[in-house]
Amino acid sequence: MNGAGFRIVTSRTPLRITFTGGGTDLPEYYRNYGPGAVVSATIDRYIYVTIAKNFRPDEIRVSYSKTENAIKNVDDIQHPTVREALKLLNIETGIQIISITEIPSGGTGLGSSSSFLVSLLNALHTWEGETVSPKRIAEEAVKIERNILAEPGGKQDQYIAAYGGIQLMEFLSDEGVNLTRLPIKGEDLERLNERLMIFYTGIERMSTNIHKNQSKRVSEMVAEYDRMRDIAYETFNSLKEKKYDRLGELMHENWLLKRKLSSGITDDFIDKLYNKAIEAGAEGGKLMGAGGGGFLIFSAPLEKHNSIEQAMNGLTRHRFKIENLGSRIVYLE
């Protein structure tokens, strides 16, 4: 335990946006009809996890939206992913875990729960004196969330948080994952960033029920999933060819398909916001994550941004930029 002898370790892991293909990373799709394909990007909003020695070597302290103090046994930790991460790495006591997020920690559609777990695993491995690959961290995060805890959902979030950047992720029927990074930087990256508009709806929702309902209906919606997968490939190729004006069109088609997949993905309030943005000049967009609330993203020419902001009923625009780095250690002592 704490084989490296560190007093403090802090990891920083980005949140993510998904452009197209989300949902094809569900096992009910890629195992039976795969591959699935998703284009996602990490953004410059982060979750930080700090690991520190506990003054009392026989206790664990975990601080997130609440604090669990003086825990004597790992099995008594209420936070499920913290508990299972410690068990996976055979860490028993004498540790403090503190997390900070720059975005509301649940129900925003930015992959915060998986980013937290990736950040935690990265910090814990470092605390133990181990340097591990993004692949291993992502695989361990998937194992905890999808296998051990049996939480419904896909596995794009864990991989994009670990690797960072803009990635085409392919999910194979044998559980393999192929990642292809978009080599974008400088003026090209700025051109893409300038097109993106992100608004917070003010609605936080739990993705669990949406994912459960969606997973049950995959076999009924194979044609829609197939097209969403193909849209992901088209999206990546368009970005690679610097045809950034195609992004909105492809996100729009993806959104029209996605809203059919499950009840709860959208509602009248979200539909009205989306339609107002399109009428004001957005080329296309979508709701982040499983749906039901969280953040809306649009792609639009710069000259349309003011009119789109005015059309959004006073919703706050958040100016994120794409982050090329995945989870990393930012402090050691």
- Residue 49: what residue type? V
Residues 214-221 have a mean pLDDT of: 85
Global pTM? 0.94
Q: pLDDT tier at 106 (50, 70, 90 boundaries)? A: low
Give the whole-angstrom CA distance, residue 61 versus residue 67.
7
Cα distance between residue 316 and residue 199, in whole Å: 6
pLDDT value at residue 205: 60
What is the rounded average pLDDT of the residues 132-137?
A: 98
Q: For residue range 29-59, what is the model confidence (pLDDT) as tens digits?
A: 999 998 999 999 999 999 999 999 999 999 9
Residue 301: cis peptide before it, omega within 30 degrees of 0: no
**Once rounded to an integer, what is the mean pLDDT over residues 304-312?**
96
Determine phi and psi for 246, rounding to 5 degrees. Answer: -80, -15
Burial category of 333 from C-beta neighbours within 10 Å (exposed 0-12, middle 13-18, buried 19 and up): exposed
Quote the pLDDT of residue 34: 87
Q: How many CA atoms lie within 13 A of 153 on its CB side?
A: 24
What confidence score (pLDDT) does residue 49 get? 98
For residues 175 and 146, give the distance between their C-alpha atoms in angstroms, rounded to a whole number.
12
Please answer whether residues 26 and 218 qualify as being in contact, where contact means their C-beta atoms are separated by less than 8 angstroms.
yes
Name which of 139, 156, 143, 138 is nearest 228 in CA terms.
156
| pLDDT number for residue 304 | 97
Helix runs in 74-155, H state only: 80-88, 112-127, 134-142
* DSSP per-residue letters across 173-235: TTS-EEEEE----HHHHHHHHHHEEEEE-S----HHHHHHHHHHTGGG-HHHHHHHHHHHHHH
Q: Omega before 80 cis (within 30°)?
A: no
Q: Options 3.20.20.450, 3.40.630.10, 3.20.20.70, 3.30.230.10; which CATH number does 8-183+323-332 get? A: 3.30.230.10
Spatial contact of 231 and 253, defined as CB atoms under 8 Å apart: yes
- Amino acid 213: pLDDT: 74
The pLDDT value recorded for residue 209 is: 65
| Cα–Cα distance for residue pair 30/304, rounded to 1 Å | 38
Give the residue with greater pLDDT, 282 vs 152.
282
| Parallel/antiparallel/unpaired status of strands 95-101 and 60-63 | parallel
Structural domain boundaries of the chain? Answer: 8-183+323-332, 186-318
Alpha helix locations (H) across 218-314? 222-240, 247-258, 268-279, 305-311
Checking if the pLDDT of 264 tops 90, the result is no
For tokens 């979200």, name the residue.
270
In this prediction, residues 207-227 reach a mean pLDDT of 83
pLDDT at residue 117 in the model: 98
Class assignment of domain 186-318? alpha beta
Q: What is the pLDDT of residue 54?
A: 93
Find out whether 115 and 147 touch, Cβ atoms under 8 Å: no
Contacts of 2 (CB under 8 A, 6+ apart): 53, 94, 95, 127, 128, 129
Residue at token pair 């995060």? 141
Residue at token pair 């990546």: 236
- Look at residue 149 and tell me whether its pLDDT is greater than 80: yes
Q: So what's the pLDDT on residue 303? A: 97
The total of other beta-carbon atoms located within 10 Å of residue 315's CB is: 16
